[in-house]
Structure 1
Amino acid sequence: MDKRTFNKGEHLNVQPIRKQADIEIAKFLLAKNKKGPRDVLLFLFGINTGLRASDIVVRKVGEVRQTKHPIITEQKTGKKRTLNLTNLADEIDTYIQGMRDDEYLFQSNKFSNYHLTVNGVYQIMQKLGKQMNRSDFGTHTMRKTFGYHYYKQTHDIATLMTIFNHSSQKITKRYIGITDDEINESLDKFKLGL
């Protein structure tokens, strides 16, 4: 495992979680955290919506209680996006029981009436990465995991590009780690003179 530490401004080569079994392990480990239910739903929310951490942490209970297709404005791009939370409906409904509509869905560990920060998400993902013996987890792990599995299940890179608001399919493929996988897969099958 890479023991190198990164200074602010340096980029960690964040990768998606490629194996379904590793997703299950991640959920199991997150459930053991002090804020287990929050952390598991945060993870599921991220890998099922493809949102950036900055867009996940500001969600409020009322947004997801009233509709499974909330319209949000992405913080980075300022663009509107309709989420599809149908596949998370049961998990969300269980999690928000007893919560008020004006509460943040993912509340801060330190401050009541405040949301988890992006740095808080980073800390959760870093801890998870260490537990899974991975040095490539960060705030984009969930988003990249969504993209990787969406592409593997649908092979619809054009729609994924739109979901991510990327300017090209090449950028989207590189972002989700497909380019490297496809190159390695094609080279595994390539034989010449053998």
Structure 2
Amino acid sequence: MKFVEPIRELQKISSMKKILLAQRERDYLLFVIGINSAYRISDLIRVQFHHVMDEKLKVRNHLILIEQKTKKENKVALSKGVKKAIEIYVQNHYQGNPNEFLFKSRKGTNQPIGRVQAWQIISDAAEELGLENIGTHSLRKTFGYHQIKRGTNITLLMKMFNHSSESVTLRYIGITQDDMDAAVQALDL
């Protein structure tokens, strides 16, 4: 079984955004929300317009979903960049039905894209960049990896991911021995 990795380089994230935006705004928004939250792809693809905007078409401050895997409510703040991407998407794609899926399938019915289609979208863009071992789970891992790199407390991240221990979270997001060595060497008191 092949394990997917986070996207560690910010430049690669920026390039992924450009590729996905050129393909379809839907694919870009899926990526942007995915790398800025701890949601699993099975939860992301089920997001509907009413989850991200109020009755006045104003983008909400939080995305609140009941996770399929845990059956728990998960409330995630939306950053300025994510809110802006949602705002543009709503302006260009909202057709008056708040129950319509954000990541709608092109099959003509109000159905979301499937997990396999989401995987294809992400992995094709990654392949175009020469990135290996990237899939839909990479979105969540990328979020965690960059949270840790920016100093987020591991216990807080562990809670966001609903993991049982810090070591599980570190292994999950791909923190390597090289990362730990670099952190120690950078301190050099």
Mapped contact 1:12–1:138 kept (Cα < 8 A): no
Size of the aligned set, in residue pairs, is 177
Query: Which of the residues 83, 87, 96 maps onto 1:93?
Result: 87
Q: Which runs of 5+ in 2 are unaligned?
A: 55-59
Aligned runs of 1:2-151 on 2, under 5 Å? 11-33=1-23, 36-66=24-54, 67-87=60-80, 88-97=82-91, 98-99=93-94, 100-151=97-148
* TM-score, normalised with respect to structure 1: 0.84
The amino acid across from 2:88 in the alignment is: T
The amino acid across from 1:157 in the alignment is: I
How big is each residue's C-alpha offset from its partner over 1:112-131, in whole Å with a ceiling of 9 and x where there is no partner?
Answer: 31101111111112201210
Match of 1:175 in 2: 172
The amino acid across from 1:109 in the alignment is: R
Higher mean Cα deviation, 171-180 or 104-113? 104-113
CA distance in 1, matches of 2:141, 2:120: 17
The amino acid across from 1:71 in the alignment is: I
CA distance in 2, matches of 1:112, 1:150: 37
1:161 aligns to 2:158 (yes or no): yes
Q: Where do 4+ consecutive residues of structure 1 move more than 2 Å?
A: 109-112, 179-189
* Pair 71,186 (structure 1): closer, same or farther in 2 beyond 3 Å: closer
CA distance in 2, matches of 1:84, 1:132: 29
* Pair 133,86 (structure 1): closer, same or farther in 2 beyond 3 Å: closer
The amino acid across from 2:158 in the alignment is: M
Match of 1:4 in 2: none
How big is each residue's C-alpha offset from its partner over 1:129-165, in whole Å with a ceiling of 9 and x where there is no partner?
Answer: 2101122111211100000001111241110000000
Mapped contact 1:73–1:79 kept (Cα < 8 A): yes
Identity %: 37
* TM-score, normalised with respect to structure 2: 0.86
The amino acid across from 2:43 in the alignment is: D
Q: Which runs of 5+ in 1 are unaligned?
A: 1-10, 190-194
